[in-house]
Structure 1
């Protein structure tokens, strides 16, 4: 898996991006987290990482690939910051490898079933694609997403969006901060509320804005991360 490291410090943060994006979406946030080594990963199939086999991956496969990455990093990241699809991966990772995670921050989390998968969600704007260098901003569900998938990811997409990760969320034991935009139509607030109920040591914070709200203000995003990691709940 391709990754980049920004900054330096005794503590390390792993950043996991949303569907259709890559690690660079977190670059402006990571640059503001002085004193931390920030690891910006390109999940398989995105950015500079190789794609999963055409037979497709489940979220568990992504979580295992993250485990292999974490094993070779020094210092090993004890914190995870994830957005949307990245929250799916982090949810399974933390459930399978609880000893590897101390705290996580989920922004606009996906992966908890609250409505029919037939409900297609809106496509991100060109402005977002350009701003965040995403080929297709994370919409998480819907036929439009499937049509936009490269052929190598179509089977993975189908497998991923059909997984309800509630059973994994219940197994998470670390502290988790969940942040969700009040105007997010891609992963609506009800997703975050349900995840908050499932994860025993979690808190939910609502923020103004949409699916990418915190990325518009990287300084504020970085401050949220810092405050939580340095003692916040």
Structure 2
């Protein structure tokens, strides 16, 4: 389905029935990346609501660079238009940036929060490192989703895949990427009062474990679950373990 928000066609789906869970995907991904988890949520009696952010998946492109604030405003409008206020939210990486900004400003917009590989804390390493490494690791991980195998094979052939992928972005999305990564949301963590579950892969290199531990310290009502051996996409690396963890949160 499509809905027009901020002049952009936004692709979204609603699966199952019951109290809704809004699923916010990571940067460079789409709703399809989290479809398996969404199907599980629908199977256990909850409604899974997925959307593609602008510039991602089947949604329209940006005409000018955005930052986290603009993405958050669009998400807030989506929640209002779809009557989702008070829904639980499952957020991966970039999606957690959006949820942090919204929950810190308006505690009632969400119920429970589940963050996995959540971004938002400015990394110790510089932006150049993440530009070179993140995009390649993203493609490698997404190769686990069958229909994205071709993307990985093409990316892997490049001698410097991360930089090549970054160069392939449009000028608008390059600037957007830089704006997003440079925004430090750490000062907002203390303002989040929602019950929050942090799920992290022990081998996550994109949002390292020290970020999870800081979030656990600063978000008042939070707890951390670690998935051993998993990386930034722990919901793909160990799908069964991930689902068993969120089941407790969703049913509690």
The answer for unaligned runs of 5 or more in structure 2 is: 1-9, 156-161
User: Using the alignment, how far apart are the partners of 1:25 and 1:118 within structure 2?
Assistant: 24
By relative contact order (CA 8 Å, sep 6+), the higher-ranking structure is 1
Q: 1:195 aligns with which of 196, 215, 229?
A: 215
| Structure number, greater radius of gyration | 2
User: Using the alignment, how far apart are the partners of 1:85 and 1:71 within structure 2?
Assistant: 21
TM score, norm. by length of structure 2: 0.81
Say whether the 8 Å CA contact 1:117–1:162 is kept in structure 2.
no
Partner of 1:18: 26
Partner of 2:7: none
Alpha-carbon deviation of 1:226?
2.1
Say whether the 8 Å CA contact 2:122–2:181 is kept in structure 1.
no
Partner of 1:47: 57
Q: 1:29 aligns with which of 12, 37, 42?
A: 37
Q: 2:142 aligns with which of 129, 144, 148?
A: 129
Alpha-carbon deviation of 1:205?
1.6
The answer for unaligned runs of 5 or more in structure 1 is: none
TM score, norm. by length of structure 1: 0.87
Say whether the 8 Å CA contact 1:12–1:76 is kept in structure 2.
no
1 or 2, which has the higher helix percentage? Answer: 2
Partner of 1:117: 126
Would you identify which runs of 4 or more consecutive aligned residues in structure 1 move more than 4 Å?
Answer: 74-77, 133-137, 142-145
Give the number of aligned pairs.
225
| Cα-Cα RMSD | 2.3
